[in-house]
């Protein structure tokens, strides 16, 4: 009788742990910020721009970023700042992690129902469309197996899923990360 009760208790404990661990492994997402995806050496270079960029103050934040990127692309030579603007270096610690991140969707592929199945997630509106793209380590190529309806590219979205460090290139942009989305929904604070 004691062995049966002991086995039952062990079985019950194993079932509980299995359900608990499975639930937490797939249902919990680590909320991250875009800057966390930039390797430390690239971030240091981006935080120390050339002095001539200090003169760019006009326009919105997005305009300033665009002007800085355009100006840096026109710079001659291989400055560390310019290299950081096109860096495909990643933070390896984020490979194969469940994350949650807000951003703007730039549709790339659609299914026959006109639902978006693949898109670039970018940190600010207009990236890859109206402005030069951000560095590849600030672009995530998102796969949405079932497709989603994106009513407006002007609205930010939360994206949750498995992040991978993998290079994706197409005519719109180059991304250093990809994500298999479990959920995509409108951003709310």
Q: What is the DSSP letter of 140?
A: E
The alpha helices in 2-134, defined as continuous H runs, are 2-27, 40-46, 61-74, 80-85
Q: What is the pLDDT of residues 80-122, one digit of tens each?
A: 999 999 999 999 999 999 999 999 999 999 999 999 999 999 9
Query: What's the CATH number for 34-186?
Result: 2.40.50.870
The pLDDT tens digits of the residues spanning 149-174 come to 998 889 999 999 999 999 999 888 99
What's this model's pTM, rounded to 2 decimal places? 0.73
Q: The tokens of 58 are what?
A: 């006009």
Whether 108 and 172 have beta carbons less than 8 Å apart is answered as yes
pLDDT band at 26 (very low <50, low <70, confident <90, very high): very low
* Backbone phi and psi for residue 149, each to the nearest 5 degrees, phi listed first: -95, 120
Partnered with residue 184 across adjacent β-strands are 159
Beta-sheet strands, E only, within the chain: 30-31, 97-110, 116-122, 140-148, 156-164, 168-169, 174-175, 177-186
Q: Which residues pair with 165 in a beta bridge?
A: none
**pLDDT at residue 61 greater than cutoff 80:** no
What number is the average pLDDT over the span 4-9? 41
Of 23, 44, 34, whose CA–CA distance to 159 is shortest? 34
């Amino acid at each position: 009788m004691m062995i049966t009760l002991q086995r039952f208790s062990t079985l019950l404990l194993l079932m509980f742990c299995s359900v608990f661990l499975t639930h937490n492994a797939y249902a919990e997402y680590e909320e991250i910020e875009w800057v966390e995806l930039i390797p430390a050496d690239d971030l240091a270079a981006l935080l120390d721009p050339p002095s001539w960029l200090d003169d760019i103050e006009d326009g919105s934040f997005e305009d300033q970023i665009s002007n800085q990127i355009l100006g840096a692309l026109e710079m001659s030579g291989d400055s560390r700042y310019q290299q950081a603007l096109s860096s495909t270096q990643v933070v390896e610690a984020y490979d194969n992690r469940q994350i949650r991140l807000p951003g703007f969707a730039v549709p790339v592929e659609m299914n026959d129902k006109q639902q978006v199945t693949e898109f670039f997630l970018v940190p600010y509106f207009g990236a890859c469309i109206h402005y030069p793209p951000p560095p590849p380590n600030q672009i995530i190529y998102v796969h949405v197996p079932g497709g989603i309806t994106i009513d407006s590219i002007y609205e930010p979205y939360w994206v949750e899923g498995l992040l991978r460090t993998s290079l994706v290139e197409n005519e719109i942009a180059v991304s250093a990360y990809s994500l298999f989305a479990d959920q995509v929904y409108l951003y709310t604070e």
